[in-house]
Each structure stands twice: as C-alpha cells, then as structure tokens.
Amino acid sequence: MNVLVCGGAGYIGSHMARWLAAHDIGVTVLDNLSTGHREAVKWGELVEADLLDQASLERAFSGRRFDAVMHFCARSLVGESVAQPYDYYANNVTGTLNLLEAMRRHGVDRLVFSSTAAVFGNPVSALIDEAHPKAPINPYGASKLMVERILADAAGAYGLRSVALRYFNAAGASHAAGIGESHEPETHLIPNVLRAALGTGPGLKVFGDDYPTPDGTCVRDYVHVEDLAQAHHRALDHMEAHAGAHVFNLGNGTGFSVREVIAAASEVTGREIPFEIAPRRAGDPAVLVASSDKARRELGWTPVHTSLAPILDSAWRWHQQQPY
C-alpha cells in the first residue's frame, strides 16, 4: 500500500508518516512547508505542493500511484479563524475540494480526513459522541464541518470512501524519533506550559479563569499523537471493508482543566511553572471531552496513553532536546 500524507511535515502528519513506515506502508509527504518543517520529513519522499495551487497538486499526483490519502493540511488556530475567516474557508474548504478533485482525476478513492472537536461548538452533554449536535462557534470548526458534509456527498456521487477523525486535543511527542509539537507562533497549551518550565518563549497565559468549570479554566480531553496515528491506520482498514463516509471522535474520555495541566506538568518536570491570567479567547468553549466508544467498537482503537502524566512526559523529553 502507498499513502499520500498531506501535511506530513507538520506535527500530527510527521507522526503519521513515521507510523506508516514502521508498518511497511509506502509514504509520500505533500506539504507547502508554510507551517510544517522540512527536517520533520524523515519517512518517505517530500513533494512540495500547495492545495490552493491546482497545478502543483497535479504534478504531485502525476507519475505516482496512491491507494489512499491522509489529509492533515489546514489552518487550525481558533482565534485566528475568527479574525481571518476568508483565509480559513479558502485553505480548509477550497483546498480540500482541490485535493478531492485531484484524487478523482487520478483514481484514488480513499481518504482519511483530519477533523476536529470544534465542529460541535458548546457541548450540551458531559461526553461528546458522534450524534452530538454540530454547531461550531468559530470559522475553524465550521470549515471542518463543511468538509465532512462534502465527504458525505462525495460518497453518494462518486463512491469516495472516507473516514473523518475528530480529534479533541492532540498532545505528546515521539521524542526518540526527534519529532514533536512545534508551531510558530505556538498557541497550544501543553507546549507552552513546557516552554514556560524551560524558561523559553513568552510568558505563559491562561486565557480565562471565569468559565463554568470547577476551577474556572477551560477543560479539554488530551490524546497522544501516537494514539491518533494508530487510529488513522485502523481507518485505512475500515475503509477496505466499509463503503461510504464515516466519522469517529478520538479522545481519552477524561477532561483536564488548564490549571490541572499546569500542576501535572510541574510534577513531571520538577519545576515551578509561572503563569498569568489573560482574557478569554474568542471561540473557546468551556468544556470539550470525547466519547470514543464508537472508535473503540468499530475501529478496534485502544489508546495506549490513557493518563496525562505519560503524555506530558513524552512531550517534555522532546522539548528538552530543542535548541530554544
């Protein structure tokens, strides 16, 4: 099997490329390197292309055979999406349409799509399953939900087989392989907490302490990036046996507040982690925690990293290796 990993120079995409290569699956990485890192492409050929440039996409597909595509390319910052909605709809929706059209021209009929918990908006139940109402409260989530609808329509019209995986909060690293979470600017909590422990980067800010949660800070469900890679591999197997468009939520089913993450990171690192309270960010729900029962049942997916400490420890080991 040969898989095209779009966005394979990024955080989750590079872990996916590593996972596929370790399971004897051929890997080609497509990335425009706008946010990805050339040095993270250690498995498979790198093809520099942009989903908004149809000519570069055509060159990427020409002369190569792919059995499936994994699609990680996206603009993914909630606050930025509120401020720059046109950019998000262009990159996340138009870019995906361009990719789907290239796949159809070249006879590739299987796609694993990187979706998000942001499609749900503010939760109306303690655990969010696939049937939970979809009411995104920011353009990022809305753009991903639009793609999910496109995939459902493409299944009926063109026979496209797809699996959309809605991550909650990806975290952790494969420190032994030299890959981890690195964005510029960095907006995700765990890497910013660990950089604060190292004394690098800007001071740590906690965005809002007046949410309706036990300690006033946002609650999130963290899932290790290697567990996400395992789920994508199982999605490939699922598409072999099942036609149509399918969606699965991926999380650990346990929520941790921002303050709890900071406290746990302090235990893992053995360091005090200074922070300051800042205003809420636009578009942030108070609580997002997944029910992954469907993924466990239908994909046979079982996360290996089920508590916060080992997720933080793997990320901490990677951050300590970085030349900040």
Domain boundaries along the sequence of the chain: 2-171+222-250, 175-220+253-320
Residue 286 has a CB neighbour count (10 Å cut-off) of 17
Lowest mean pLDDT among 27-31, 166-170, 247-251: 166-170
Kindly state the helix (H) or strand (E) to which residue 12 belongs, with its residue range. Answer: helix 11-22
Residue 216 has a CB neighbour count (10 Å cut-off) of 16
Using the predicted structure, report yes or no on whether residue 281 has a pLDDT greater than 90: no
Decide: 289 and 221 in contact? Cβ < 8 Å: yes
pLDDT (mean) for 161-172: 94
Residue 2 has a CB neighbour count (10 Å cut-off) of 15
| Residue 76: predicted pLDDT | 84
| Residue 25: predicted pLDDT | 98
Using the predicted structure, report yes or no on whether residue 118 has a pLDDT greater than 70: yes
Q: At what angle do helices 11-22 and 225-241 cross, to 10 degrees?
A: 60
Decide: 32 and 38 in contact? Cβ < 8 Å: no
Cα maximum dimension of the chain = 56
Provide the CB-side half-sphere exposure for 126 (13 A, CA): 4
- Tens digits of residue pLDDT in 39-94: 999 999 999 999 999 999 999 999 999 999 999 999 988 888 999 999 999 999 99
Of the candidate CATH numbers 3.40.50.170, 3.40.50.720, 3.40.50.360, 1.10.645.10, the domain formed by 2-171+222-250 belongs to: 3.40.50.720
Lowest mean pLDDT among 17-21, 81-85, 162-166, 235-239: 81-85
pLDDT (mean) for 234-252: 97
| Residue 324: predicted pLDDT | 61
Using the predicted structure, report yes or no on whether residue 126 has a pLDDT greater than 90: no
| Residue 312: predicted pLDDT | 96
pLDDT (mean) for 190-200: 91
pLDDT (mean) for 14-34: 97
pLDDT (mean) for 265-274: 95
Lowest mean pLDDT among 8-22, 108-122, 162-176, 186-200: 186-200
Active site residues: 140
| Residue 4: predicted pLDDT | 98
| Residue 176: predicted pLDDT | 84
Using the predicted structure, report yes or no on whether residue 183 has a pLDDT greater than 90: no
Q: How confident is the model at residue 201 (pLDDT cuts 50, 70, 90)?
A: low
Q: How confident is the model at residue 175 (pLDDT cuts 50, 70, 90)?
A: confident
Q: How confident is the model at residue 109 (pLDDT cuts 50, 70, 90)?
A: very high
**Can you name the CATH fold of 175-220+253-320?**
UDP-galactose 4-epimerase; domain 1 (3.90.25)
In DSSP terms, 30 is beta-bridged to 6, 47
Quick one: residue 253, left, alpha or beta (phi over 0 = left, psi -120 to 50 = alpha)? left
Dihedral sign computed on CA atoms, order 75, 249, 265, 273: positive
Structure tokens at 247: 């969606």
Using the predicted structure, report yes or no on whether residue 205 has a pLDDT greater than 90: yes
Percent of the chain with pLDDT over 90: 82
Using the predicted structure, report yes or no on whether residue 177 has a pLDDT greater than 90: no
Q: What is the average pLDDT score of the chain? A: 93
pLDDT (mean) for 253-264: 95
Q: What angle do CA 110, 116, 122 make, to 5 degrees?
A: 145
Percent of the chain with pLDDT over 70: 98
Provide the CB-side half-sphere exposure for 213 (13 A, CA): 23
Decide: 166 and 247 in contact? Cβ < 8 Å: yes
| Residue 227: predicted pLDDT | 96
Q: How confident is the model at residue 284 (pLDDT cuts 50, 70, 90)?
A: confident
| Residue 321: predicted pLDDT | 87
Decide: 268 and 194 in contact? Cβ < 8 Å: no
